[in-house]
Amino acid sequence: MRITAGDVAALERGVALLGSGGGGDTVTAAVLLRRLTEGGREPEVSAIGELAPDARVVPVGVVGATAAFTEKLPGGDEFAAAVAAVERWTGERADALMSIEIGGLNGLLPLVVAEQLGLAYADADLSGRGLPRLDQFSVAATGRGIAPAALAEPGGQVVVLAAGSDAVIERGTRAFLAGSGGWAAFALAPLPAGELAACAVPGTTSGALALGRRVLAAGESPGRAALEAALAGSVLARGRVLEVTRHVGPGQHGSPGFGRGSVTLADHRDGALLRLEMENEYLLALRDGAPVASTPDVLSVLDHRTGVPVSCDAIRAGVEVDVVRLAAAPFWTDPRWLPVVRPRAYGIDCDPVGLP
Partner 1 sequence: MSLRRVLALPGWAAHVRLLAGAAGLDRPLATVQATLDASRAPEAGELTVVVRPVAGTDWRIDALLRRCADAGATAVLLPAAAPLTASRLLADRLAVPLLGTDASPLDLLVEARLLLAAPELDRADLLLATHRALGDRLRPPEEVVAVLRRLLRSPVAVLDDRGVPLAGEVTGRVRLDEPVPQRTELDDGVLVAHPVLLQRPALWLAAELRGTEAARADVVPPALAVAAGVLQRWLLANRLELERDARSRTALLGDLLRLDTEPGADLRRRVADAGWRLGGWHVGLHIGAPAAVDTVARTQDVVRALRAEDVEAVVVEHGDGWTGWVTFDHEPTAARVRSLATRLQAAHRTLRLGAHMGVGRPHARPDGLAATVAEARDAARLAATRPETGHFLHVDQLGMAQLLLEWTRTDTFEPAARALIAPLLDAPGDLVRTLAAYLDAESSLAETATVLGVHRNTVAARVARISQLLGVDLSRPDERLALHLASRAVTLE
Between 84 and 266, whose beta carbon lies closer to partner 1? 266
Sign of CA dihedral 232, 235, 236, 242: positive
Q: Of 1, 147, 266, 327, which one interacts with partner 1 (CB under 8 A)?
A: 266
Residue 40 found at the interface with partner 1 (CB under 8 A)? no
d(CA 295, CA 156): 36
Q: Of 7, 135, 153, 277, which one interacts with partner 1 (CB under 8 A)?
A: 277
What is the SS3 string spanning the chain? CECCHHHHHHHHHHHHHHCCCCCCCCHHHHHHHHHHHHCCCCCEEECHHHCCCCCEEEEEEEEECHHHHHHCCCCCCHHHHHHHHHHHHHCCCCCEEEECCCCCHHHCHHHHHHHHHCCEEEEEECCCCCCCCHHHCHHHHCCCCCCCEEEECCCCCEEEECCCCHHHHHHHHHHHHHCCCCEEEEEECCEEHHHHHHHCEECHHHHHHHHHHHHHHCCCCCCHHHHHHHHCCEEEEEEEEEEEEEEECCCECCECCCEEEEEEEEECCCCCEEEEEECCCEEEEEECCEEEEECCCEEEEEECCCCCECCCCCCCCCCEEEEEEECCCHHHHCCCCHHHCCHHHHCCCCCCCCCC
Q: Of 284, 312, 321, 326, which one interacts with partner 1 (CB under 8 A)?
A: 284
Q: Which region among 52-60, 154-162, 183-191, 347-355 touches partner 1 (by CB under 8 A)?
A: 347-355
CB of 245 to partner 1, least distance (A): 6
Is residue 138 within 8 A of residue 64, CB to CB? The reply is: no
Between 184 and 292, whose beta carbon lies closer to partner 1? 292
Q: Of 9, 147, 242, 355, which one interacts with partner 1 (CB under 8 A)?
A: 242
Q: Of 40, 91, 143, 247, which one interacts with partner 1 (CB under 8 A)?
A: 247
Q: Which region among 60-68, 124-132, 144-152, 260-268 touches partner 1 (by CB under 8 A)?
A: 260-268
Between 13 and 342, whose beta carbon lies closer to partner 1? 342
CB of 271 to partner 1, least distance (A): 7
Residue 240 found at the interface with partner 1 (CB under 8 A)? no
Phi, psi angle pair for 30, to nearest 5°: -65, -40
Residue 271 found at the interface with partner 1 (CB under 8 A)? yes
Q: 131 vs 104, 134, 215, CA distance in Å?
A: 10, 8, 22
Strands 120-125 and 96-99: parallel
Residue 290 found at the interface with partner 1 (CB under 8 A)? yes
Q: How far is C-alpha 280 from the chain's CA centre?
A: 10
What residues from 99 to 118 belong to the interface with partner 1 (CB under 8 A)?
none
Residue 234 found at the interface with partner 1 (CB under 8 A)? no
CB of 162 to partner 1, least distance (A): 40
Between 175 and 317, whose beta carbon lies closer to partner 1? 317
Residue 225 found at the interface with partner 1 (CB under 8 A)? no
Q: Which region among 10-18, 184-192, 289-297, 306-314 touches partner 1 (by CB under 8 A)?
A: 289-297
Residue 262 found at the interface with partner 1 (CB under 8 A)? yes
Q: Of 245, 252, 255, 306, which one interacts with partner 1 (CB under 8 A)?
A: 245
Total of residues contacting partner 1 (CB under 8 A): 23
CB of 301 to partner 1, least distance (A): 15
Q: Which region among 7-15, 107-115, 273-281, 319-327 touches partner 1 (by CB under 8 A)?
A: 273-281
CB of 297 to partner 1, least distance (A): 17
Q: Which residues bind partner 1 (CB under 8 A)?
A: 242-243, 245, 247, 260-262, 264, 266, 271-273, 275, 277, 284, 286, 288-291, 348-350
